[in-house]
Amino acid sequence: MQTPADLVVILGTGGTIAGTAASASDGVGYTAGQLRVQDLLAAVPALSSQRLEAHQLAQLDSKDMDVATWQRLAAEVAAHLARPEVAGIVVTHGTDTVEETAYFLHRVLAPSKPVVLTAAMRPATALAPDGPQNLFDAVQVAAAPGAKGVVLAFAGRVHDAVQVRKVHSYRVDAFESVDGALVARVEEGRLRVVGRWPAGEALGLERVTRPAVQWPRVEIVMNHAGADGAIVRALQAVGVDGLIAAGTGNGTLSRALDAALREAEAAGVRVWRSTRCDAGPVMALPGLLPSAGALSPVKARIEMILSLLGSTSS
């Protein structure tokens, strides 16, 4: 008899969802990444009827997310997805860089089962923590028939890995799908699909196996009033393989920053233009530095790193 694929594997990486504060009314002075993923599950009795397996992969404040943790996470997610009894994966994470981890997993794995990241804006000790509901919702998405790809389940909404951005520093509903439709909503534990599940071609785990110290260095520089390009020359002096320009508007750059970036490009540094705007693409125009399309600066940085990893030998 075939085993039903109804197991949801939960991988804990830390974040505010696992954070604790000395006082229940303290929503900002807490320490992220304190509770284990098993403790998070214990706070959601409604999940007791579901087949779950939990592993603690890391215990980080996601502002400190790093390449080594991404490598372990991608390998672990791939290994669990390959198990026939697994319906999907939930990754508990901090909100600060969850959109980067989501994009990284999307590009490396492009999974045909759901990989659902979730997080919280309030620590587990808050008067009204948002983590338990988000975790409950994430498990429902991971177990839902037809779900696939890397998404973020947060505050009742399911965002795809490419579009999602953290748009608020404090509000409980802190994420938006900035450049298109949501994937779904979760209402009373039921999924209402309103868009499309993320799809794409996986670059594969082999692309990201090189030790972290050998990864290309790609930095983000911003255009702003008075941007004189000195930052670009300083980065070139320390050694940089790529630069993402977070330009103004349609990726526009001050004359001085544009000149410095072109010099860097001529010296062999890869340069793409993105926008510091909260949403929208950068339209490619003849004669201008290459565009990063609709990717935010942080996602363009990951895309460039993955591209450089594919084009340089180890």
Edge-to-edge, what's the strand order for the sheet holding 114-118?
A: 52-60, 7-14, 86-92, 114-118, 149-154, 157-160, 184-187, 190-193
Q: Which span (94-102, 110-118, 139-147, 235-243) binds ligand ASP, by CB under 6 A?
A: 94-102
Applying CB under 6 A, does 12 fall inside the site for ligand ASP?
no
Nearer to ligand ASP, 12 or 247 (CB): 12
CB burial of residue 50 (10 Å; 0-12, 13-18, 19+): middle
Determine contact, residues 36/140, Cβ cutoff 8 Å: no
Applying CB under 6 A, does 69 fall inside the site for ligand ASP?
no
Closest approach, Cβ 150 to ligand ASP, in A, equals 18
Q: How many residues contact ligand ASP, by CB under 6 A?
A: 11
Applying CB under 6 A, does 92 fall inside the site for ligand ASP?
no
Q: Which span (57-65, 210-218, 242-250, 303-311) binds ligand ASP, by CB under 6 A?
A: 57-65
Applying CB under 6 A, does 101 fall inside the site for ligand ASP?
no
The vertex-85 CA angle with 80 and 89, nearest 5°, equals 40
Nearer to ligand ASP, 13 or 71 (CB): 13
Applying CB under 6 A, does 244 fall inside the site for ligand ASP?
no
275 is catalytic: no
How many Å apart are CA 215 and CA 69, to the nearest integer? 14
Catalytic residue, candidates 3, 13, 16, 118: 16
Nearer to ligand ASP, 63 or 255 (CB): 63
Nearer to ligand ASP, 95 or 163 (CB): 95
Structure-token match 């002075």, residue found = 29
Nearer to ligand ASP, 92 or 307 (CB): 92
> Which helix (H) or strand (E) element contains residue 304?
helix 297-311
Applying CB under 6 A, does 96 fall inside the site for ligand ASP?
yes
The two three-digit tokens of residue 123, written as one number: 């620590």
23 CB neighbour count, 10 Å cutoff: 11
Helix (H, G, I), strand (E, B) or coil at 49: coil
Contact pick of 7, 9, 15, 149 for ligand ASP (by CB under 6 A): 15
Report the amino acid identity of residue 258: D
How many Å apart are CA 187 and CA 193, to the nearest integer? 11
Determine contact, residues 209/71, Cβ cutoff 8 Å: yes
Applying CB under 6 A, does 95 fall inside the site for ligand ASP?
yes
Contact pick of 55, 63, 233, 255 for ligand ASP (by CB under 6 A): 63
Closest approach, Cβ 78 to ligand ASP, in A, equals 23
DSSP letter assigned to residue 93: -
When CB distances to ligand ASP are compared, the closest residue is 94
Beta bridge mates, 165: 176
Applying CB under 6 A, does 62 fall inside the site for ligand ASP?
yes
Nearest to 55 by CA among 73, 31, 78: 73
Applying CB under 6 A, does 271 fall inside the site for ligand ASP?
no
Active site residues: 16
**Residue numbers of the site for ligand ASP (CB under 6 A)?**
15-16, 32, 61-63, 94-96, 119, 121
